[in-house]
Amino acid sequence: GLKKIKMLVTGGAGFIGSNFIRYVLNQNPNVIIMCVDKLTYAGNKQNLAGVIGPRCQFIKGDICDQVLMDSIAAECDMLINFAAESHNDNALAAPKPFIETNIVGTYTLLEVVRKYNLRYHQISTDEVYGDLPLDSLAKFDEHSPYRPSSPYSASKASADMLVRAWIRSFGIKATISNCTNNYGPLQHTEKFIPQQITRLKQGQPAYLYGDGTNVRDWLHVTDHVRALYMILFAGRIGETYLISSDCLYSNVAIVKQLLAVMHLPSDFYCYGPDRPGHDLKYALDNHKIKRELNWYPRKTDLTANLAALVELY
């Protein structure tokens, strides 16, 4: 048979990482996965139920642990990094783990990638570009300057800068992708959509920070992981790819869609204090990934996707 490809997936017990691992195992029989995850409050081995086995080994560990990461990377061909502290509200309450995992952790991985000449991919976010005015029709593209505004986005921007520097200075074979807000199966209930579904199922009103007019660009996780697979196997080294499905909605519009799907009164929501520094609007231009890799979003029916999630949670 063909030579097996050994892929190190960090943060694979989280939301996007676990969806990615399932996709890759189904997509490519020649891939063997080593998943390293610290199992923080956000990681759950249950997210990999039915997946851990001969083709997917699970190792509980920290990406900041240089000795551990060195020993695993020595046997691998590629590394895709999902491991991160990912929730903005937590970064406002206690930023330190964001500095450690998102910045020092990425640095640690880059050093083993350099030592063993692995193919590397960094998962990043639209938030590194800062926010857009609510009334703007503009979108960020891969040439937009980095202007992060929150502790979380500053930590992710720092990590991306390290990746870019390691590409330029040491010639590592790396790519970066910045994606918009994901939603889909296995997302932690701290995030907006699963939080609202959970509240509504418990009979509590949906809860909007501030006036609910902030806009996010929503991407179904299955479209995201398919894009990541294409970048990993066909993306050009050194490039940044933006992943968006052009699905812009205000938070209050998402809540109204959920209420309709759940047959609840259209005003069954309330307002709370705004998030400090709350980014107004994100939107990404996806022309490059369409043109270069022929990726197009497929799961674009938001109402149907929300209805499926309501069934699932």
Answer yes or no: are the C-beta atoms of 157 and 128 closer than 8 Å: yes
Q: Which is nearer to ligand NAD, 106 or 199 (CB)?
A: 106
131 binds, among ligand NAD, ligand TDX, none (CB under 5 to 8 A by kind): none
- Please confirm, yes or no, whether 116 is among the known catalytic residues: no
Rounded Cα–Cα distance for residues 121 and 181 (Å): 19
Helix (H, G, I), strand (E, B) or coil at 29: coil
DSSP state, residue 238: T
Decide if residue 37 touches ligand NAD (CB under 6 A). Answer: yes
- Minimum Å gap between C-beta 236 and ligand TDX is 24
Q: Which residues bind ligand TDX (CB under 6 A)?
A: 86-88, 125, 127, 181, 191-192, 195, 207-209, 214, 216, 251, 275
- List 37, 62, 85, 126, catalytic entry: 126
157 binds, among ligand NAD, ligand TDX, none (CB under 5 to 8 A by kind): none
Decide if residue 16 touches ligand NAD (CB under 6 A). Answer: yes
Binding mask 221-260 for ligand NAD (x = CB under 6 A): ----------------------------------------
**Half-sphere exposure for 29 (CA within 13 Å, toward CB):** 2
146: Cβ contacts below 8 Å, ≥ 6 apart = 128, 129, 130, 157, 160, 161
- List 37, 85, 127, 279, catalytic entry: 127
User: To 10 degrees, the CA torsion angle through 166, 244, 209, 153?
Assistant: 10
195 binds, among ligand TDX, ligand NAD, none (CB under 5 to 8 A by kind): ligand TDX
Answer yes or no: are the C-beta atoms of 208 and 255 closer than 8 Å: yes
- Please confirm, yes or no, whether 126 is among the known catalytic residues: yes
- What's the farthest any 2 CA atoms get from each other in the chain? 59
- Please confirm, yes or no, whether 282 is among the known catalytic residues: no
What are 208's two structure tokens?
A: 């909007």
Decide if residue 10 touches ligand NAD (CB under 6 A). Answer: yes
Decide if residue 52 touches ligand NAD (CB under 6 A). Answer: no
Whole-angstrom CA distances from 179 to 119, 141, 289 are 20, 11, 11
- Minimum Å gap between C-beta 153 and ligand NAD is 9
Decide if residue 130 touches ligand NAD (CB under 6 A). Answer: no
- List 120, 129, 152, 229, catalytic entry: 152
- Minimum Å gap between C-beta 195 and ligand TDX is 5
Decide if residue 121 touches ligand NAD (CB under 6 A). Answer: no
User: To 10 degrees, the CA torsion angle through 185, 189, 195, 199?
Assistant: 100
- Minimum Å gap between C-beta 101 and ligand TDX is 12
Helix (H, G, I), strand (E, B) or coil at 271: strand
Decide if residue 63 touches ligand NAD (CB under 6 A). Answer: yes
Rounded Cα–Cα distance for residues 40 and 51 (Å): 20
- Minimum Å gap between C-beta 42 and ligand NAD is 3
Catalytic residues: 126-127, 152
